[in-house]
Structure 1
Amino acid sequence: MCRKAWRFKSSVPHYDRASPQGLSDFFSADHRLTGASPGDRISARGGPVARRSNNQPQRPLVIFLHIPKTGGTTFEAILKRAYGEDNVLAFDLAAINDAEGARRARQAARAARRCSFIRGHFPMGLRLHESIARPCTYITWLRDPIERMISEYHFILRYPPHPAHAPVHRDKMTLKDYLLSEWAAGTDNYMTRFLCNQAPDARDADWACSPAMLASARANLDRFFPVVALMEHFDESLLLLQSHFGWRLPLYVKENVTHNRPPLADLPGPTLQILQDLNRYDLSLYAHACGRFAGQLGALDRDAFDRRLRGFRLLNRTYGRVRTGEQLYRELAERWHRSLNRYRAYEGKVRSTVKRAVLGLLNSK
């Protein structure tokens, strides 16, 4: 059910890095988890990154391809803590979906000499690493394609700024209606489209998803992404990324979560069949990614990794409660200040009214 033509559709507070020495030792990045030595990095061109003259590894520029509805918003907060929030270069599909926008994006990448990292909704076909005169490495998150597309539909339902929100509500579209409508055109096999070599500004290209696009997406995933990260195994993927990139504790609070979504088991059979037909290339790509992910875990000391995983989850639950408590405190404080300001404004009006009334009585006498 591939479409004849398509275009890409646009669709945590500060963390104190200080930690007790015991926790720091327990969660320190163990590069043996990925089978690489501590200094090893992979450039976007597939080879090892050259070392600096002081025998320290040259830090590659991280390029984060944020595929919508794969947990990327939560992960961006982790990246900001790992690399800082200054000099972050961000792109969005709406701004690069034509020749001029793509040209400006590549030009901005060439000029970003002190960029901390690059993030945003943009495809691999933009080839940003070819515009940057420094080593690069890529990160992305993948998700079960059926779950991803269902989550996207429910995100549209609850997010008024989305272009499809108004028509979906106006026409009372079910998930099946949405999948068969023009609003879903170009969102099939979205992960394959993001990771293949098809440039977003290629006007004369055949935009129907094809086996060739799947092949290039698989090749790019294997060549440019040293760690395969899966949303269904979020914590395990984070620890693998931490080990490869040498991050501190990647604690997080989930953001941009789609709530009150019916489970996959409740979908009618015809709707599920449409989802599978629309995403057959993504299903193949995801199966390949799951195989690589299993290989990454299979190369580890699983007992040691499982102990780290249990400890990380315990610590992250505590972190989440603390951050949630801080957020609740801030919200209550903001409400108190708003109420206090309204009271003071009301009090001022009352005093002014009483003053005018008293002056009026005195003048009348």
Structure 2
Amino acid sequence: MAAAGSPPWTLVSVHVPKTAGTSFAEALRRVHGDGLRLDNADRPLAHARGERRLAALRQACALAGRGLPDACVHGHFLPVKYALARRTRFCVWLRDPVQRVVSRYHHYRRHGDDEPHHLRWGLVPGLSLEQFAALPQYRNTYAEYLWAFPLRRFDFVGIVECYEQDMQRFAACFGLDPARLAGERANRNPERGTGQGYLLEPAQERLIRRCNARDLALYERALGSS
């Protein structure tokens, strides 16, 4: 039984970088208000694979069998962190992996040169898109985030390219009022028009696809089940 005054379950929303997570967080806040907790301290891609996995497993053990006091938790973390908590439901948004990589590259070029962990993983000033795509730390980000937590464990998987339609599906899935979720998209690249994808040279797209084969497979699976 849930404690008096606590939500019947907690929505755990995984924000993979550059998958409309900022816009989605604003929508969640319109619905949940103070019941929304942002959990961005883990910063998975700032750490080596073994470090982030071990940290997530330790957190999972600490939360095992416990209910969360929040109505919703949203942020940059591995979902396995909350896998053993009680009364949880999970959601995630995915975006075309090629477009996501290019968006992440441009976000780094706009904002990221001063991040202390960047040099550790090869993010140096003036990096080209091709050089960024080849960095091991930033390949297959979906697969890295969803380690030990398969897509079938999510109650909802949204597709960013279908954001408005899938927000309706999200509302229906969790019994929410879609009017309260509605709002403008946030954190877009100001140099790219609304609804437009990044244009790439064929060789650039081939490189990104080759470096993100696991993410492409996850995305295709999500498209088939949405």
Indicate the TM-score class for this superposition, using the shorter chain for normalisation: 0.7 to 0.9
Segments of 4+ moved more than 6 angstroms: 108-112
Residues of 2 paired with 1:278 and 1:290: CA distance? 20
TM-score, length basis structure 2: 0.78
Report % sequence identity: 23
Greater CA radius of gyration, 1 or 2? 1
Residues of 1 paired with 2:187 and 2:151: CA distance? 25
1:333 aligned residue: none
TM-score, length basis structure 1: 0.50
2:217 aligned residue: 284
Q: What aligned pairs does 1:1-365 form with structure 2 within 5 A after superposition? A: 59-86=8-35, 88=37, 90-94=39-43, 97=52, 99=54, 103-104=58-59, 107=62, 113-126=68-81, 128-130=82-84, 132=85, 134-160=86-112, 161-162=114-115, 163-164=117-118, 170=125, 172-180=126-134, 184-197=135-148, 220-222=150-152, 224-248=153-177, 249=179, 250-261=181-192, 266-293=199-226
Residues of 1 paired with 2:53 and 2:78: CA distance? 13
Change (3 A) 1:269 1:102: same
Q: Give the superposition deviation at 1:129.
A: 2.9
Opposite residue 157 of structure 2, the aligned amino acid is V
Opposite residue 41 of structure 2, the aligned amino acid is D
Residues of 2 paired with 1:62 and 1:282: CA distance? 24
Structure 1: 5+ residue runs without aligned partners?
Answer: 1-49, 53-57, 198-216, 294-365
Could you say what secondary structure the match of 2:138 adopts?
coil
Could you say what secondary structure the match of 2:34 adopts?
coil
Structure 2: 5+ residue runs without aligned partners?
Answer: 45-50
Pick the structure with more helix per residue: 1
Contact 1:84 1:116 in 2 (8 A): no
Contact 2:14 2:92 in 1 (8 A): yes
Q: Give the superposition deviation at 1:158.
A: 0.4
Residues of 2 paired with 1:283 and 1:122: CA distance? 20
The aligned length equals 208
Residues of 1 paired with 2:24 and 2:140: CA distance? 22
